[in-house]
Chains A and B, each alone.
Chain A
Amino acid sequence: MPFIPHTAEDVREMLAVIGAPSIESLFDEIPANLRTGSLSEVPAGLNEFEVMRLMQARARQDGSPLCFIGAGAYEHHIPAAVWSTVTRGEFYSAYTPYQAEASQGTLQSIYEYQTMLASLTGMEVSNASMYDGATALAEAVLMAVRANRRSKSARVLMPRNLHPHYRAVVAATVGNQGVQLEELPYERSVGHTAPHSLAPFEGQDITALVIAQPNFFGVFEEVDALTDLAHARGAFVIAVVNPISLAVLKPPGLWGQKGANIVVGEGQPLGCPLSSGGPYFGFMSTRMEHVRQMPGRLVGRTLDLDGRPGFTLTLQAREQHIRRAKATSNICTNQGLLMLAATLYLSLLGAEGLERVAALSMQRTEQLAGALTAIPGVRRVFVRPGFHEVALAFDRPLAPVLAALSQRGIEGGFDLSEHYPELGPSLLTCATETKSDEDIDTYARALADVLRAARAA
C-alpha cells in the first residue's frame, strides 16, 4: 500500500470545500482548558539514519545475556519460518486493512487464529486479539460488568498473586469507571489463592472473580473449586492463562462445572520475541452467550452472493467507528502482526509440538530449581507445584546478587521484593525449553560463586 500524504494544495482545497479557515480551526470545539500547550518535552525529529544509529546503540545495551527472567514474558524457540512469513509484503502491516474484505488472506489468517485460540482455551469464540495481556484483562473486567446482568455491584475480586503489572493496568483502566476492585490474599506457605479466601464474600453481590492459572508465582490454583464457588455466588469467572501451559493443563472452558466465562492472557509466548518488552499481543475468548459484550474485532466465515465461501468482519456495529461513545470498548482494531506470528507458530508446532514445549519447560524449571536450591542460603518459597517458574527465597538482599550475576552475563530472574515485601528477599526464576543442561549449570555455578563472595565480604 503506497503512502501518499496530502499536498498543501490538497489541504487548501479540502478546507475551502467545508468552509474552514485552517486545520487548527477544526479543533475549536475542544475547550481551551482541555488542550495541551506546546510539546516542549518532545525532542525534535530525527532522520532515518539518526534513528538507526540511536536504536542500534540502544540494542547494544541489552547485550545477549543468558536470560532466566519470566514474570509474564517468556523466551521460547521461534521456528525461522514464522518471521520470514510474517514479514512478507502481503502481511507486513500492523493493522487489519480498511476495506478489510478486499484482503481475504489477512481475514483468513485472523479466522484461523480465532479458531486456534478458541480451541486452546476451550471456549466458543475468540476475538482477533488485543494489545497485550494486561489490557486484555482490563477489557475482560469491563466486559464482565456489562455482561453479568445478575450482578449490580460492579465488584471484582483480584488475587494478590496475579501479575502486579496486570493489577496496576486494570486499576488504571477501570478505576474511574465505577468498578470496585478487591484484593484476595494468597496462602503464605503454598502461594495459591485458597478457596476459603472467598468465604468473607458469602452472600454478597460479586460481579466477577479473576483466576490466574498459573498465578504470578508460577503456582497452580485450585481452578475447579474457585470456579464453582464463584458461579454459586452469581459471579463470572475471568481466567488469565499462559497459552503454552494450555497444552498440558485443563482449558478454562472446562474449569469446574460450567467453565470460565471469559479467558484472557498474554500471547507473546506464541512466536513473539522478548524484544525489550514489546510489542506483544493479548488474547480473549468467551462463550457465545457473551459475544455481543466482547470488545475488539471478529472475523466470520460466510458465503458470498454466488455461494462461494469467504471471510468478513462481523459484529462491527458494536465498535467505536460505528457506535461512537456507546461502543462496547474503545478498542476497534487488533494486534495483527503478532497475532499472525502466533498463528504460524501454532501451525508449525501443532498440538504435539506445543505439548513438548510445555512439558520440557516445566522439566527445565524443576532442574533449575533443584540446582539453585542445592546452594546454601537458597530455598523454595512455596511448596505447591506450578508451571515453568519458581519463587526462591534468599538469605540476603537480592539486588547486589542480581547485579553480580548480570556482570557475568546472566539475568537471574525477577526480584519479588518490591511487589511482595512480605516474602523477604525472593526471586522469581524461569527456565523454558531454550535452557540446556549447560546453561543451568552455568547459572548455578555463578550463583554459588556470587553468594560465597558475598558471605566472605
Chain B
Amino acid sequence: MSNIPADLTFARSHEWVRRLSDGTMEIGISDHAQHALGDLVFVELPDIGRRLNAGEACAVVESVKAASDVYAPVAGTVMAVNDQLRHTPELINRDPYGGGWLLRLRAESPATDVGLLSAADYGALITEG
C-alpha cells in the first residue's frame, strides 16, 4: 500500500506539492510513482530561475527501466533544486516525501494550486489506476 501523506496535494501525473512557510512550494514525486519506476539512477533538474508553466516538463527521473518527465504542478519560478539528488538519486526511492524532494517553486499566484488533488482523492486515483 502506497504512502500518501494527508498534508500534501497531488497532481494526476504523480507529483506532490508541499506549501512551505516561506511561501514557496516544494515538489517531488509520490511514493506510488517511485515504486512504479523502480531504482532511480539519475535525475535531471531545471536551472534555478527558470519560469515554468503549469504542466510543463521541468525534470527527468531515470530508473534502470524508464526515464520519465516530471511536470510542474503549478506555474512559477524555480527557486531551488535538490542538489543531493545529483549524486544520490536513490533518496527519491528511500524518502520520496522528505530527502527526495526535487525542486521549490515560487508560484505565480497564491491560488494556482487549484486543480490539484487531496491526499484522499489521489489515493482513490491510484487505487483505480
Nearest Cβ on chain B to A320's Cβ, whole angstroms: 11
Q: B65–A322 contact, CB under 8 A?
A: yes
Bound-state Cα–Cα, A322 to B38, Å: 15
Chain B residues contacting A188 (CB-CB under 8 Å) are: none
Q: Which of B42, B63, B67, B69 has the most CB of A within 10 A?
A: B67
Within 8 A of B (CB), among A271-294: 292
Is A318 engaged at the interface, CB distance under 8 Å to the other chain? Answer: yes
Q: B42–A322 contact, CB under 8 A?
A: no
Q: B62–A318 contact, CB under 8 A?
A: yes
Bound-state Cα–Cα, A149 to B45, Å: 12
Nearest Cβ on chain A to B46's Cβ, whole angstroms: 11
Q: B69–A322 contact, CB under 8 A?
A: no
Q: A326–B62 contact, CB under 8 A?
A: no
* A-contact 0/1 string along B33-76, CB 8 Å cutoff: 00000000010100100000000000000111111010000000
Chain A residues contacting B47 (CB-CB under 8 Å) are: 149
Is A317 engaged at the interface, CB distance under 8 Å to the other chain? Answer: yes
Residue of B nearest to A327 (CB): B67
Bound-state Cα–Cα, A129 to B42, Å: 23
Within 8 A of A (CB), among B16-46: 42, 44
Is A323 engaged at the interface, CB distance under 8 Å to the other chain? Answer: yes
Q: B69–A317 contact, CB under 8 A?
A: no
Nearest Cβ on chain A to B13's Cβ, whole angstroms: 15
Chain A residues contacting B44 (CB-CB under 8 Å) are: 292
Chain A residues contacting B42 (CB-CB under 8 Å) are: 292
Residue of B nearest to A319 (CB): B67
Residue of A nearest to B44 (CB): A292
Bound-state Cα–Cα, A149 to B62, Å: 19
Residue of A nearest to B42 (CB): A292
Within 8 A of B (CB), among A209-235: none
State which size class the interface on A falls in.
under 10
Nearest Cβ on chain B to A301's Cβ, whole angstroms: 15
Bound-state Cα–Cα, A118 to B66, Å: 27
Chain A residues contacting B66 (CB-CB under 8 Å) are: 317, 322-323
Chain B residues contacting A318 (CB-CB under 8 Å) are: 62, 67
Q: B69–A326 contact, CB under 8 A?
A: yes
Chain B residues contacting A322 (CB-CB under 8 Å) are: 65-67
Chain B residues contacting A292 (CB-CB under 8 Å) are: 42, 44, 62
Within 8 A of A (CB), among B66-95: 66-67, 69
Bound-state Cα–Cα, A323 to B69, Å: 10
Residue of A nearest to B64 (CB): A317
* B-contact 0/1 string along A296-329, CB 8 Å cutoff: 0000000000000000000001100011001000
Nearest Cβ on chain B to A287's Cβ, whole angstroms: 16
Residue of B nearest to A323 (CB): B67
Bound-state Cα–Cα, A198 to B14, Å: 48
Q: Which of A149, A292, A317, A322 has the most CB of B within 10 A?
A: A317
Residue of B nearest to A312 (CB): B64
Nearest Cβ on chain A to B40's Cβ, whole angstroms: 10
Residue of B nearest to A149 (CB): B47
Residue of A nearest to B62 (CB): A317
Bound-state Cα–Cα, A356 to B70, Å: 53
Nearest Cβ on chain B to A273's Cβ, whole angstroms: 39
Nearest Cβ on chain B to A234's Cβ, whole angstroms: 15
Residue of A nearest to B65 (CB): A317
Bound-state Cα–Cα, A317 to B61, Å: 10
Bound-state Cα–Cα, A188 to B63, Å: 52
Bound-state Cα–Cα, A317 to B66, Å: 5
Bound-state Cα–Cα, A133 to B21, Å: 55
Chain A residues contacting B69 (CB-CB under 8 Å) are: 326
Bound-state Cα–Cα, A292 to B63, Å: 13
Bound-state Cα–Cα, A292 to B41, Å: 11
Residue of A nearest to B60 (CB): A326
Residue of B nearest to A292 (CB): B42
A: residues with CB less than 8 A from B are: 149, 292, 317-318, 322-323, 326
19 A–B contacts from the bound complex (CB under 8 Å): A149-B47, A292-B42, A292-B44, A292-B62, A317-B62, A317-B63, A317-B64, A317-B65, A317-B66, A317-B67, A318-B62, A318-B67, A322-B65, A322-B66, A322-B67, A323-B66, A323-B67, A326-B67, A326-B69
Starting from the known contacts A317-B63, A322-B66, A326-B67, 4 additional A-B residue pairs (CB-CB under 8 Å) come to A292-B62, A317-B65, A322-B65, A322-B67
